Amino acid sequence: MDFSFKPVTVGKMTPSPLEYFGEEQHNNDMEQIVANQTNPLKVLGKFQGDWLDELDVAATLATKDIYTSREHHSDYLYITRLFGREDVLPTLSKMPKVLGFEDPIVAQVQMQRPGCNMPKHMDPPYIFRNPDRVRVLVTLAPWEYGQFMFFNNTLFQHWEAGTIIYTVFDETWHCTMNSSWHTRPILQITGVASKQLQESIKNPEPQIFQL
Global pTM? 0.83
Output the tens digit of pLDDT for each of the chain's 211 residues. 333 333 333 334 445 555 555 556 656 666 676 666 677 899 999 999 999 999 999 998 988 765 544 444 445 678 889 988 999 999 999 999 999 999 889 999 999 989 888 888 788 777 778 888 999 999 999 999 999 999 988 899 999 999 999 998 888 888 899 999 999 999 999 999 999 999 999 999 999 999 9
Boundaries of every domain in the chain: 40-204
* Pairing of β 207-210 and β 42-48: parallel
Any residues with CB less than 8 A from the CB of 103 and at least 6 apart, and which?
A: 191, 192
d(CA 57, CA 43): 27
Question: Given strand 147-151, what is the order of strands in its sheet?
Answer: 117-121, 174-178, 147-151, 154-156
Domain 40-204 -> CATH class: mainly beta
Any residues with CB less than 8 A from the CB of 203 and at least 6 apart, and which?
A: 44
Residues composing the chain: 211
E strand intervals along 65-183: 77-81, 101-112, 117-121, 133-139, 147-151, 154-156, 163-166, 174-178
